[in-house]
Amino acid sequence: MQRHLFYSLLKNGTEEAFRASIRQNEGDLRSQLHSEQVLTVSLFQNGSNVCLYLETELDNFHWDWPDAYADWLEAWPCEQESRLSVPMIDIFHDGVPTDPESWRGNRQVEDRVGCIARLKPDMAASYIYYHYQMQEERPESFNKTYIIGAHGTLLFSYREHPASVSETKRAGKLSSQNTPANWQEVMEPHFDMWTDVPDNEKIWRSMERLL
């Protein structure tokens, strides 16, 4: 079982048309994802930014939007052909699933939350360093569903509420204990703050869940 994050960019002025299309074609989109053995999907949008969280049974999973969505989504040139979505790089995950049953079981999900943030370009290496250190020093320490992906300097985080931690935690790859206790204070200088949001969203800006 694998977890995946994808990023897409809406063309100028197409935000409402895209949301309307998702509402109208939700059944077809879910069927397409189900046919590719997607177990769970959450779709989020804020402005021109579109992010997806997927869980699949396939290790080598390659997905893209159906061609019909080219009316709204920008295309990226790739090695073989252009794409309407790009896989995001996993730079932090609190938990690692092994199979669907142990990952979800009877756990109730009350909310699925997606947020975006912007890294300062010269702070990207530091941010990844600190997060890998915490990931492997303190595996599954607060919410096993929490995951952060990156596309350039744009970050997307996904989590489910209520927070969940497994009874049996995996062993981390690091035996050190260097994760700073003043985590928020250390993290704040890494971000290019949002300026048109409430104070509690200046770093991590909430996205609207469409699916």
Question: From CA 115, how far away is CA 155, in angstroms rounded?
Answer: 8
Angle at 128 between CA 1 and CA 54, to 5 degrees: 25
The pTM for the full model equals: 0.95
Question: From CA 175, how far away is CA 182, in angstroms rounded?
Answer: 20
Which residue pairs from 195-199 have beta carbons closer than 8 angstroms and sit at least 24 positions apart in sequence? Answer: none
Question: From CA 196, how far away is CA 183, in angstroms rounded?
Answer: 25
Q: What are the sequence ranges of the domains in the chain? A: 2-209
> Please, what CATH class does the domain formed by 2-209 belong to?
alpha beta
Query: SS3 of 166, please?
Result: coil
Residue 147 near residue 157, CB atoms below 8 Å? yes
Q: Report the chain (211 residues): mean pLDDT per 10 consecutive residues.
A: 96 96 93 91 97 90 91 89 94 92 88 98 97 96 96 97 86 94 97 93 97 93
